[in-house]
Amino acid sequence: METDPLLGCAASIFPLIDTVVSIVQKARRTHRNSLALVSRASEVHEQLQQWQPPHFSVMESFEEQMQVVQHSIQTAQALRYATLLHLHQAVPEIPSESSAELARKVLLKLASIPSSSVVTNLHIFPLLAASVELTDPEDREWAEQRWHAIIGRLRVKNVDTCWDIVQATWARRDIHEAEKVPAEPRADIEMDPVCTVRGKLHWLNVMEDRNWQVTPILVFVG
């Protein structure tokens, strides 16, 4: 039986995504991260940093789908960076690139894949996790176009809900930014608590406050 190219590229990262989802859930149930949770998150962070898709030669069985393979490799890397972003916002105690830097890495991978590619069906989680971080109007416009392309392809209500979450998160963050008293820039190690998975500006809490529901498997694996 033929294996899907994306599964061939990303199969080994899905267990890491599941682990990060579990860490995020535990972090959201407490007021601060336990030492055990930080330690576990650090281990997973290291695994994600070291993760690489299979060597190109391993993908030779998909010779007739080489373009899809290339797109699948980019998608797998986008998933990796999106998972690092999600982990960073749950356990900011671990030294990491900033949310903005990780989000840009995600979106650069996604932008390198044409919106007509079949693998964009699997872009829901990375696009959601990263596009909420956008502040530049031109970048937000690109994200909107990409969301509409996926919505048009899948025609599934949950995808519409994801786009609603992104817009609501942008609106909440824009209001917060407009009302914020000017202060010294924060080092990323001191991430603003409102931007963590416990904070009111994180998309998970926007979703919760609006009583929106998104099927987990749709978000994380398409």
Q: Which residue has the higher pLDDT, 157 or 115?
A: 115
- Give me 25's structure tokens: 């859930």
Express each pLDDT in 141-187 by its tens digit.
999 999 999 999 888 778 999 999 999 999 999 999 998 876 655 54
Express each pLDDT in 39-55 by its tens digit.
999 999 999 999 988 76
- Give me 7's structure tokens: 């599964």
199 has pLDDT over 70: yes
HSE (CB half, 13 Å, CA atoms) of 61? 12
CA dist., res. 27 & res. 34, Å (int): 9
Q: Where along the chain do its domains lie?
A: 5-221
Least confident of 16-25, 147-156, 210-219: 210-219
Express each pLDDT in 157-169 by its tens digit.
789 999 999 999 9
- Give me 2's structure tokens: 């033929």
pLDDT value of position 221: 38
Q: What pTM did the predictor assign?
A: 0.89
